Structure 1
Amino acid sequence: MRCCRPALLTPPLLLLTACSGWQSSLDPQGPQADLLAGLFWVFTAVLSAVWLLTMTALVVALLRRHPARTEPLELNTRPERGMARTVGAAAALTLVVVVALTVVSYGAQRALFSGGEAPLTLKVKGHQWWWEVTYEDPGPSRQFTTANEIHVPVGQPVHVKLESADVIHSFWVPNLAGKMDAIPGRENRLVIQASKEGVFRGQCTEFCGWQHAHMAITVVAHSLEDFERWRESQISAAEPPDDPVRKRGMQIFLSRPCVMCHQIRGTPAAGKVAPDLTHIGSRLHIAAGTLPNGRGNLAAWIVDPQGIKPGAHMPLIKLNAEEVEPLARYLEGLK
């Protein structure tokens, strides 16, 4: 019997561990996520109570013994009247529960989409299979674009304008907010806000093709001072390399088809169809969360993107063996 105890304990432990973590709607780290988590627990409590009442009524009905009839043709309307009252009460209770949950859900939805002023507005565009993130600003010179990573200040609401460049995607950072679709030709809006510093993982939750599972987005929440320092560094153009190996890597990058797709501000590379690489070295991951960022993974991605993320639109670039290291070092240094 002892050998069965771990197996019996495994499902409850898995359920408990699923309630926390860097991608869990049951571990809210912002007011929007708090509201949704509260709504979830209200629905769970009410529906659990309904289920328990239903099962209790069923058990009572099955165990209840009815007196035997001495006269088969005898009419007894009392059970029928009692049954009618029970069914009526159940119907009324059902109506009350449905109306109450509808009102609670509607109130939560109004609170989520109430809008209001926000000091920061982002335009997030879904692509197959990565996220383009533009930090909007009244001054055009202070706008910049990054990819697959959002940085926000703690305690401040952030307006997110969602768009899609190809098919329907769905933006979801469970710790911070609910889901919202990104639809071609339409702009949807969402508000996210982090209550504390940390790193939170998001995911596309609308099946959008072969690499849908590898279309993640990371939200990094900073203190206001750290966020402003990060934003100023992102606004600036890429620093020119200061060592011979990275200079060689820059020459390789600019002489290959990379410049047709990618942009590195401060260089002739001005492509707009693939992620902006101006500060790629400062990001936590590459390939939309598929690999941790680092020189080795950058080199592997450059050499064989289809082996890492089959179906991705990153083409195979022909490089000599001695060109891979300088190119990876150049990209790693773009911070």
Structure 2
Amino acid sequence: MTSGSIFAVFDPAGPYAGSITTLAWVLIAMFVAVLAVVIAALWIALRGSGRLKARLGGTRAIWIGGIGFPVVVLTALLVYGLTLTRHLTAPMPQDAMRVRITGEMWWWRVAYLDPSGRPFMLDANELHIPAGRPVLLELESNDVIHSFWVPRLSGKLDMVPGRRNTLPIQADGPGVFAGQCAEYCGGPHALMGFVVIAHEPAAFDRMMAARRAPRPVPDERGRQLFRSTGCAACHRIAGTEANGMAGPDLTHVGSRRSLGAGILPNNRGTLAGWIGDSQAIKPGNRMPPYKTLSAADLQALAAYLEARK
């Protein structure tokens, strides 16, 4: 599996990111070429002979260098860029997987959609996709402008309140790919991470089927604490009385790779620490601290959530 902890911007892992990376290298090469021409012109202006200075400041040079060259180069880049990236806006296959991702302050709401566009499974802060298949993301925001960006799989796109934008992504093979909110959204914006996990198609289908199957509810004490402390008012766990929508869905929280939108590894200890005082870990997030809970209560709650696979 490929590590998702480093933003390898120039290491595309799918066709959509590949064309963007190619265009980026072309633009960088053009920048270097133009910079070299400007430096050469500056050298002539400062140290060149009188004859070269006269030619550089002549009418013909101004027309060619000031008008003709930019028009030709920018037009060529525009045509090339639009041709290279035209598949980014091409219609997706009718049977393409669709996922709605909603930016929140400061985490990501994830909803897997059925063919009719209705959510059938909820998650948060990570996305599972089948490798080798295109996936269409529907991007929204519930509060301020965010920007969704997984550099190795596609470009970045703003998430604007009241508007739904679409972004295609695809991973060529299995791997773990890091993402980040790329638009300053206040508070702990820098700690608003995301992860995409690409699976072999057969493994992905098995995982999704397992997630949709009913599971027994373990640890009755943890379940009672989840209700009595008010967790159920903000969080949802499918198949239970917890139906809160203010915070991340916790139905499969035990299987997530991280907590707090990518800032902590997910295990019982970090779960207990996050529940006890998330403000000490991610200052400004919207979950209040629960400092009145005993260590035993925190461990019971963490065990209950850890079992939610």
With normalisation by structure 2, the TM-score equals 0.91
SS in 2 for 1:143: strand
State yes or no: 1:45 paired with 2:45: no
Shift in Å, 1:21: 7.1
Q: In the TM superposition, what is the alpha-carbon distance from 1:80 to its structure 2 partner?
A: 6.8
**Structure 1 SS opposite 2:33:** helix
- Give yes or no for the alignment of 1:113 onto 2:89: yes
Report the more deviating stretch, 90-99 or 160-169.
90-99
Q: Aligned partner of 1:58: which letter?
A: L
How high is the TM-score relative to the length of structure 1?
Answer: 0.84
2:20 maps to which residue? 36
Equivalent position of 1:247 in the other structure? 220
Deviates more, 1:165-174 or 1:22-31: 22-31
Task: Name the CA distance, whole Å, in 2 between partners of 1:102 and 1:141.
Answer: 38
Q: Secondary structure at the match of 1:101?
A: helix
Note the C-alpha offset of 1:175: 0.6
Q: In structure 1, how many angstroms separate the alpha carbons of the residues matched to 2:116 and 2:140?
A: 22
Q: 1:293 corresponds to which residue? A: 266
- Tell me the CA shift for residue 104 of structure 1: 2.1
1:142·1:235 contact (CA, 8 Å) conserved in 2?
Answer: no
Partner of 2:159: 182
Change (3 A) 1:80 1:179: closer
Change (3 A) 1:180 1:319: same
Q: Does 1:164 align with 2:141?
A: yes
Distance 1:142 1:328, change over 3 A: same
Q: Shift in Å at residue 84 of structure 1?
A: 1.9
Tell me by how many angstroms 1:149 deviates.
0.5
State how 1:1-335 maps to structure 2 within 5 Å: 22-66=6-50, 79=54, 83-90=58-65, 91-117=67-93, 118-138=95-115, 143-241=120-218, 246-317=219-290, 318-335=292-309
- Deviation of residue 142 (structure 1)? 7.8
| Aligned counterparts of 1:204 and 1:62: Cα–Cα separation in 2 | 45
SS in 1 for 2:166: strand
Between the aligned partners of 2:222 and 2:30, the Cα distance in structure 1 is: 61
Number of the residue aligned with 1:16: none
> Within 2, Cα distance between the matches of 1:151 and 1:203?
16
| Secondary structure, aligned partner of 1:304 | helix
* Partner deviation per Cα, 1:177-236 (whole Å, 9 max, x = no partner): 111111111000000000111100100011111011111110001000111111112223
**Cα distance, 1:82 vs. partner?**
8.0
Partners of 1:80 and 1:229 in 2: how far apart?
71
Which piece of structure 1 moves more, 301-310 or 319-328? 319-328
Bigger-Rg structure (1/2): 1
Tell which deviates more after alignment, 85-94 or 255-264: 85-94
Unaligned runs of 5+ in 1: 1-19, 68-78
Aligned pairs, number:
302
Q: Structure 2: how far apart are the matches of 1:234 and 1:139?
A: 20
Q: CA RMSD in A?
A: 2.2
Write the distance in 1 (CA, Å) between the matches of 2:156 and 2:56: 48
Q: Aligned-pair distance for 1:238?
A: 4.4
How far apart are the structure 1 equivalents of 2:92 and 2:189? 33
Match of 1:8 in 2: none
Q: Evaluate the alpha carbon distance shift between residue 325 and residue 163 of structure 1 in structure 2; reply closer, same or farther with a 3 A threshold.
A: same
Q: CA deviation at 1:24?
A: 2.2
Cα distance in 2 for partners of 1:141, 1:160 equals 14
Q: Runs of at least 4 residues of structure 1 off by over 4 A?
A: 79-82, 139-142
Equivalent AA in structure 2 for residue 128 of structure 1? M
Residues 111 and 223 of structure 1: CA distance in aligned 2, closer, same or farther (over 3 Å): same
